[in-house]
């Protein structure tokens, strides 16, 4: 809802006058305000990007008023055609452009509202343009740290715009494939599905189509092994002891598996395609959004590295060289006091786990 500063002052002044009426004495009918209806705006100019307005009808008097819409331009739609205004009451009227099928150009007309004892007019102008498809960026860049984003879709005209997704790379997921835009921008959610992608740079096109336009947006993604495993601290954007279940789901989406060990009071959620498991210590049988992560497990196909470039597939000798001899061995897992543990198969790292030391 948009009003000029002067209109807001006028409405506020009217409200004060209405509220103040009758404070000193009870007026007779002849002393009460008349039967006029006031409107919050007497002129509206529509253009691409601004295609609707809320008009407030105000009854400053003490008598019930029935109003009706007497006239409107063909290219305007109005939320309702009649109503009742109680004493000192208000009503709202949604006014919006409905110009599909009209030729481009400038239009003008009047919105005429009548009631017992009077009528008023609101002048309306429209700079009409056909619906045109546009987006906020010609190129979208992603990497392993930022694998998701949003494309903003605009309508640069004054008609309803219908768009659809007409093409995309196989490694890009979208939250939908079509939509409609009036004067509020639409969004298309994107996520890179990088499991199985070879290392290196990848590029492709997202194609959007409307009745009058075709737009191609370039999507670029760098696939590389990240040094994001930090013993005793966390993995990527997930810090143990700080980030919670809600944050993990925001980053990785809905989990594939969920378990609860009622002996150790540990909840675990798993993401098979990322090779990740997140643990949460809680005596409650339910896992809540604010439950804090206390450990992270990694197995194939996870490919992240520590700062010392230790990861799945690294030799045990390389692990010992980087972290020294293990401080504890339990259930086939060698723990180091820095807050990281390794499991081995044939002398090579096959799983890792981060915990608070």
The region of weakest confidence among 31-45, 72-86, 216-230 is: 31-45
351/312 same-domain check: yes
Tokens describing residue 11: 């409405």
In the prediction, which pLDDT does 330 show?
87
3-class secondary-structure state, position 30:
helix
235/219 same-domain check: no
pLDDT digits (tens, 9 = 90+) for 245-254: 999 999 888 9
Total domains, the chain = 3
**pLDDT at residue 10 above 60?**
no
CA torsion angle for 220, 226, 229, 230 (degrees, to 10)?
A: -100
Among the three residues 110, 128, 146, which one is the final residue of a domain in this structure? Answer: 128
Phi-psi group of 264: left, alpha or beta (phi > 0 → left; psi -120 to 50 → alpha; rest → beta): alpha
In the prediction, which pLDDT does 29 show?
42
Q: What is the mean pLDDT of residues 53-59?
A: 95
* Cα distance between residue 47 and residue 294, in whole Å: 54
Instruction: Tell me the CATH number at 159.
Output: 2.60.40.10
195/242 same-domain check: no
Confidence of residue 102 (pLDDT cuts 50, 70, 90): confident
* Cα distance between residue 336 and residue 326, in whole Å: 5
In the prediction, which pLDDT does 34 show?
53
Q: What is the mean pLDDT of residues 96-106?
A: 89
Percent of the chain at pLDDT exceeding 90: 80
More confident residue, 238 or 18: 238
Q: Are 62 and 34 in contact (CB under 8 A)?
A: no
In the prediction, which pLDDT does 9 show?
41
Q: Are 185 and 153 in contact (CB under 8 A)?
A: yes
More confident residue, 311 or 15: 311
Q: What is the mean pLDDT of residues 203-207?
A: 98
335/351 same-domain check: yes
In the prediction, which pLDDT does 2 show?
39
3-class secondary-structure state, position 199:
coil
**pLDDT at residue 348 above 50?**
yes
Domain range enclosing 199: 133-223
Per residue, what are the HEC states of 113-154? EEECCEEEEEEEEEEECCCCEEECCCEEEEECCCCEEEEEEE
In the prediction, which pLDDT does 7 show?
38
Mean pLDDT of the chain: 90
* Cα distance between residue 29 and residue 8, in whole Å: 29
122/160 same-domain check: no
197/261 same-domain check: no
Confidence of residue 49 (pLDDT cuts 50, 70, 90): confident
3-class secondary-structure state, position 351:
strand
Among the three residues 102, 128, 154, which one is the final residue of a domain in this structure? Answer: 128
In the prediction, which pLDDT does 341 show?
98
Q: What is the mean pLDDT of residues 275-304?
A: 96
* Cα distance between residue 302 and residue 286, in whole Å: 27
80/199 same-domain check: no
In the prediction, which pLDDT does 322 show?
96
241/347 same-domain check: yes
pLDDT digits (tens, 9 = 90+) for 59-70: 999 899 999 999
Burial of 266 (0-12, 13-18, 19+ CB in 10 A): middle
The region of weakest confidence among 15-29, 229-243, 250-264 is: 15-29
271/332 same-domain check: yes
21/118 same-domain check: yes
In the prediction, which pLDDT does 278 show?
98
E strand or H helix that includes residue 142:
strand 139-143
Among the three residues 107, 128, 149, which one is the final residue of a domain in this structure? Answer: 128
**pLDDT at residue 11 above 80?**
no
Percent of the chain at pLDDT exceeding 70: 90
List all residues 6 or more positions away from 94 whose beta carbon is below 8 Å from its beta carbon.
52, 53, 54, 78, 79
113/10 same-domain check: yes
**pLDDT at residue 100 above 90?**
no
In the prediction, which pLDDT does 5 show?
40
142/87 same-domain check: no
**pLDDT at residue 120 above 70?**
yes
* Cα distance between residue 294 and residue 239, in whole Å: 9
Q: Are 294 and 282 in contact (CB under 8 A)?
A: no
More confident residue, 117 or 266: 266
């Amino acid at each position: 809802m948009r009003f000029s500063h002067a209109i807001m002052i006028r409405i506020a002044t009217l409200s004060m006058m209405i509220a103040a009426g009758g404070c000193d004495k009870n007026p007779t009918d002849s002393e009460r305000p008349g039967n006029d209806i006031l409107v919050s705006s007497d002129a509206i100019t529509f253009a691409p990007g601004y295609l609707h307005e809320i008009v407030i009808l105000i009854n400053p008097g003490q008598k019930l008023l029935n109003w009706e819409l007497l006239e409107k331009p063909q290219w305007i739609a109005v939320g309702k055609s009649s109503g009742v205004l109680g004493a000192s009451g208000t009503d709202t009227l949604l006014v919006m452009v409905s110009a599909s099928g009209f030729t481009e150009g400038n239009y003008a007309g009047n919105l005429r509202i009548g009631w017992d004892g009077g009528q008023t007019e609101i002048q309306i102008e429209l700079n009409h343009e056909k619906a045109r498809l546009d987006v906020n960026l010609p190129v979208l860049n992603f990497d392993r740290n930022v694998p998701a984003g949003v494309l903003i879709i605009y309508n640069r005209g004054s008609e309803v715009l219908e768009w659809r997704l007409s093409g995309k790379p196989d490694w890009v997921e979208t939250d939908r494939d079509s939509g409609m835009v009036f004067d509020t921008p639409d969004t298309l959610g994107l996520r890179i599905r990088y499991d199985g992608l070879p290392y290196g740079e990848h590029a492709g096109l997202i194609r959007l189509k409307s009745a009058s336009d075709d737009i191609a947006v370039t999507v670029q993604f760098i696939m590389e092994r990240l040094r994001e495993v930090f013993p005793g601290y966390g993995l990527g954007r997930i810090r143990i002891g700080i980030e919670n279940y809600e944050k993990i789901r925001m980053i990785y989406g809905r989990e594939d598996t969920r378990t609860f060990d009622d002996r150790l009071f540990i909840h675990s959620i798993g993401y098979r395609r990322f090779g990740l498991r997140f643990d949460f210590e809680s005596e409650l049988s339910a896992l809540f959004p604010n439950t804090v992560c206390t450990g992270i497990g990694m197995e194939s196909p996870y490919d992240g590295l520590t700062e010392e470039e230790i990861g799945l597939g690294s030799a045990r000798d390389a692990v010992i060289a980087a972290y020294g001899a293990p401080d504890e061995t339990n259930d086939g897992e060698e723990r180091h006091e820095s807050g990281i543990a390794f499991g081995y198969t044939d002398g090579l790292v096959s799983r890792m786990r981060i915990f608070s030391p």
